Structure 1
Amino acid sequence: MLKNEKGFTLIEMMIVMLIISVLLLITIPNVTKHNSNINNKGCEAYVKMVQAQVQAYEMEKNKIPTLSELQTAGYLNDIKGCPNGQEVTIDSEGNVKAVEKTDS
């Protein structure tokens, strides 16, 4: 009577769960390891974008802007730091750099 019923046994289900667990244990550390690298690349891209907006502002207004002036004039929508936690600054020559945040 029971020979025609098809399905997974408890052992088969346990083996599948074991395989899935092993795969998760292998992939999760790799993803977190690359997270800081991704954030650093995002910061580099953000600095280049802000640098381009500084140059555009400088050509139009003939002066080096601050971050708040870029936002007020519509060159930047939002003044935010880098994804890796660094702060973006503009020096007196118009060069944009990412520096570690200083707690005040």
Structure 2
Amino acid sequence: MKNEKGFTLVEMMIVMLVISVLLIVTIPNVAKHNTNINKKGCEAYVKMVQAQVQSYIIDKNQVPTLAQLSSDGYLNQNATGCPDGTKVVSIDSEGNVTAVTKTTP
């Protein structure tokens, strides 16, 4: 017999089995943490908008709307809600910022 170097079919199947087990273990964990990441991103966005509202109040001495924050450069023009798109940000008459679930028309 020739002395050829290489992997046998059994060795390749064992490697594929190990890779499959690793994927089966890690994919559910990543999906589970995705919800938590989106929640924390939304909380951080609300805090950032609250800081911008406070800055606007200090500068202009009035409570702004989201449109005023955007037009005056305090917020990005496209920023109207949480990064995952499930909630929108609202500002009440006292300047408190909350994230509410987006309603579909």
TM-score, normalized by length of structure 1? Answer: 0.94
The whole-number CA distance in structure 1 between the counterparts of 2:35 and 2:81 is 15
> Which residue does the alignment assign to 1:70?
69
- What is the correspondence of 1:1-104 to structure 2 with a 5 Å cutoff? 1-3=1-3, 5-77=4-76, 78-84=78-84, 85-104=86-105
- How many residues are paired up? 103
The runs of 5 or more residues in structure 2 that have no matched partner are: none
Q: Residue type of the partner of 1:25?
A: I
Secondary structure at 1:25's aligned position in 2? Answer: helix
Give the CA RMSD over aligned residues: 1.1
Deviation at residue 93 of structure 1 after TM alignment? 0.5
Q: Would you say the 8 A contact 1:51–1:95 is kept in 2?
A: yes
Q: Residue type of the partner of 1:2?
A: K
Q: Would you say the 8 A contact 2:66–2:80 is kept in 1?
A: no
Q: Would you say the 8 A contact 1:89–1:99 is kept in 2?
A: yes
The runs of 5 or more residues in structure 1 that have no matched partner are: none
TM-score, normalized by length of structure 2? Answer: 0.93
